[in-house]
Amino acid sequence: MFGLSTFEYDDDGFRTCGVTGLHIHRSAEDMVKLFGLTAIVALLIGGIFAIFVALTRWELIGLLSPSDFYRYLSVHAWYLLIFWMVFMEIAILYVGGAFVLGRKLALPWVAKAGYALMAVGALVVTYGIWTQEVPNQAPLLTSYAPLPSPASFYLGAILFLLGALVAAVPFLGTVWREKREYPSKTLPLVTFGAFCTAIVAAEAIVGGLITFVPTFFWRIGWLAHIDAAWYRQMYWIIGHGSQQINLLAMITVWYFMTHVVGGAEVASEKVSRFAFVLYLFFINMGAAHHLMSDPAVGLGWRLWNTSYAAYGAVLASMIHAFAIPAGLEAGRRRKGQGGGLFGWLWSAPWRDPGFAATVMSIILFGFLGGITGVMMGQMQLNMTWHNTLAVPGHFHGTVATGTTLAFMGLGYYVVRLVFGREWVGGVLATIQPYLYAGAMSVAVLMMMYLGVLFGVPRRHPTVMDIPGTEFAFTAARPFFAVFGIAALVAIVGGALFVAVAVGSLLLGGEFTGDPRIEALRAAADGGDPADAPHHQSMRGTFVFVLVFFATFVVLWALNWLLLSQVWHVGP
Ligand code: HEM
Ligand SMILES: [Cu+2]
């Protein structure tokens, strides 16, 4: 597809990847290219809109008028959080399914039909956002009823969701055929992770259809009324559910990339699989954190879901957060790649942007997104975070820093291993993950400070005041300056990724293999059972775990201190 490939195939349409040893069929490869490239186009468009959004919030520039701000913010959110992520996730399903199992993609025409539905849906959503009328029809991400967002917007969202559901069918069909052929063989961990992702995705999408279809009927006049509280609760099945898809897909990419590029080996398959299963049972309930201040649902319901059940999913994340670095440490130690406490890290391929992006993703997702998510997902602490700029701070730590970096890392290897192109850009490609990760981290921290310390609201185009009130945020000005500069640098970092990826496809030489990765694969073939991954020392990872927990405790205590200072009870 696209005539960009440099590979040759056997008569059945298979080839053997020289780097990973995977048997890859053309049918799956074509779809990975199609969905992957579309995702990168969405990243580019959403990134362009990030410029306008960030430069409006930076009061020194104050670029857009209020009506334009909400229109641009809606495009930014839908192209990045939904289109960039979901197109990439379908590609990940096909990598985790057909590629890893060494099979043809089942029902490739269904994949094409799903793609067409998704693409049309995305365009209709864009049309809806663009033609909405001021003052208050811009959907943003949530399009809460009774906000009268355009009917075309809801129609587009329905088409897109249907398309994603259809596009998941070839993945499930591929797994089905594998199980029919080898009923007693366990699925590889990456396929298992992709399978759990697909289940969580199906639940989220069905929830989205249950929400958007009646809302669409309401907008075209077939239904007289939509209950606002019903909408809010149902909407978050997809609103939060899509973040669960992002999380599971990202973790699957972490396992895949640390293994392929870093030589990681899974220390305990059972424990890692158990963690995926924990998500299946508990992660949905986390959605209730969006209703933490909502009077329409009971207090007990909110507390149970967010402070008890959700911790089942947090436990799963903790297990992966240990298992993946531990797998990297154990795998590299076993292959003789560095001893001592951190030798396995110093010797890692830090100049490889695929590896660097993956590791930055793991670290920053945990420290910036994970810790803040658990804190603001807790009833009392939520009061100081709710609806402030700290909330976008949190989710730019998760999706915009963590998940986006993981998908960029995978993107680098799609360029190499699927398109068969070597990266162009030299040192620019090497620094890209660091530039994006570093600047994004600063922007995220500033959003959090502005929100928690100054109470600056989210989703607001006039920045230094709240019209009609006495509030003024002038003291926050220096933080906005740092935010604005960091946001611009982050946008440059994101643009650099698009430039390297697209540049490599058009101008890159043929990728003929990476001696470092081949050496890792050669070193993996030691058959000594005493030399198993779980017999290796994982003390380096243990030190990281202690650092992580210490940070967690300090931030937790600090946030309670801030909460205690919000008001004084008594004389
Ligand atoms: C350099 C990159 C980026 C910058 C500078 C940036 C900046 C911003 C800013 C300033 C806001 C508005 C906050 C507010 O006023 O409430 C925002 C909102 C948002 N951004 Fe980003 N962003 C970037 C990348 C991303 C990425 C990669 C994603 C998703 C994967 C993303 C998803 C969102 C979402 C979902 C919203 C909220 C929309 C809503 O409130 O409904 N952003 N972004
Ligand atoms: Cu959520």
**Does a structural domain hold residue 307?**
yes
Per-residue confidence (pLDDT) for residue 345, from 0 to 100: 93
Q: How confident is the model over 487-507, as a mean pLDDT? A: 97
Residue 511 lies in a domain: yes
Ion ligand 2 neighbours (CB, 5 A) are 240
Per-residue pLDDT, averaged over 388-397, amounts to 97
Mean pLDDT value across residues 320-347: 92
- Residue nearest atom 6 of ligand 1, based on CA coordinates: 50
Q: Please report which confidence band the pLDDT of residue 393 belongs to, taking 50, 70 and 90 as the band edges.
A: very high
Distance between CA 323 and CA 150 in Å, rounded? 45
Q: Give the separation between CA 405 and CA 401, rounded to whole angstroms.
A: 6
Question: How far does residue 138's CA lie from ligand 1's centre (Å)?
Answer: 15
Q: Give the pLDDT score at 6.
A: 66
Please report whether residue 7 resides in a domain: no
With a 6 Å cutoff on the Cβ, whether 71 touches ligand 1 is no
Per-residue pLDDT tens digits for 64-120? 998 899 999 999 999 999 999 999 999 999 999 999 999 999 999 999 999 999 999
Q: How confident is the model at residue 231 (pLDDT cuts 50, 70, 90)?
A: very high
Per-residue pLDDT at 190 exceeds 70: yes
pLDDT at 529: 65
Would the pLDDT of 53 be above 90? Answer: yes
For residue 568, give both structure tokens.
Answer: 């004084």
3-state secondary structure (DSSP) of residue 14: strand
Q: Which of 64, 72, 73 is the best mutation target for the ligand 1 pocket, counting ligand atoms within 8 Å of the beta carbon and taking the most?
A: 73
What is the secondary structure of 405-454 as a DSSP string? HHHHHHHHHHHHHTS-BPPPSTHHHHHHHHHHHHHHHHHHHHHHHHHHHH
- Contacts (Cβ under 8 Å, ≥6 apart) of 225: 218
Instruction: For residue 443, tell me if it sits in a domain.
Output: yes
For residue 76 and ligand 1, the question of a CB distance below 6 A is answered with yes
User: If you take atom 36 of ligand 1, which residue's CA is the nearest one?
Assistant: 77
In a domain, 253, yes or no: yes
Give me the sign of the Cα torsion angle 266, 267, 268, 272.
Answer: negative
Predicted TM-score (pTM) of the model is 0.96
State the chain's mean pLDDT as an integer.
93
384 lines ligand 1 (CB under 6 A): no
pLDDT-based confidence at residue 524 (cuts at 50, 70, 90)? confident
Nearest-5° angle of CA 505, CA 197, CA 269?
Answer: 100
Taking each helix axis from N to C end, the angle separating 108-131 and 151-181, rounded to the nearest 10 degrees, works out to: 160
Q: What is the pLDDT of residues 159-177, one digit of tens each?
A: 999 999 999 999 999 999 9
Count of the separate structural domains present in the chain: 1
Residue numbers of the domain that contains 69? 14-519+533-564
Residues 386-401, mean pLDDT to the nearest whole number: 97
Please identify, by atom number, the ligand 1 atom nearest to the C-alpha of residue 389: 16
* 187 in a structural domain: yes
pLDDT band at 311 (very low <50, low <70, confident <90, very high): confident
Rounded distance from Cα 57 to ligand 1 centre (Å) = 11
Question: pLDDT grade, residue 135 (50/70/90)?
Answer: confident
Q: What's the Rg (C-alpha) of the chain?
A: 23
Residue in 284, 270, 281, 273 with CA at minimum distance from that of residue 251: 273
pLDDT, position 390: 97
pLDDT score of 395 more than 70? yes
pLDDT band at 7 (very low <50, low <70, confident <90, very high): confident
The answer to whether residues 213 and 158 touch, using CB atoms and an 8 Å cutoff, is yes
Q: Is the CB of 459 within 6 Å of ligand 1? A: yes
Q: Are 41 and 79 in contact (CB under 8 A)?
A: no
CATH number for position 71: 1.20.210.10
Question: Is residue 475, in this structure, part of any structural domain at all?
Answer: yes
- Compute the distance from residue 244 Cα to the ligand 1 centre, in Å: 18
pLDDT given for residue 570 in this prediction = 65
Q: Closest by alpha carbon to 356, among 442, 473, 258?
A: 258
Q: If you average pLDDT over residues 500-517, what whole number do you get?
A: 93
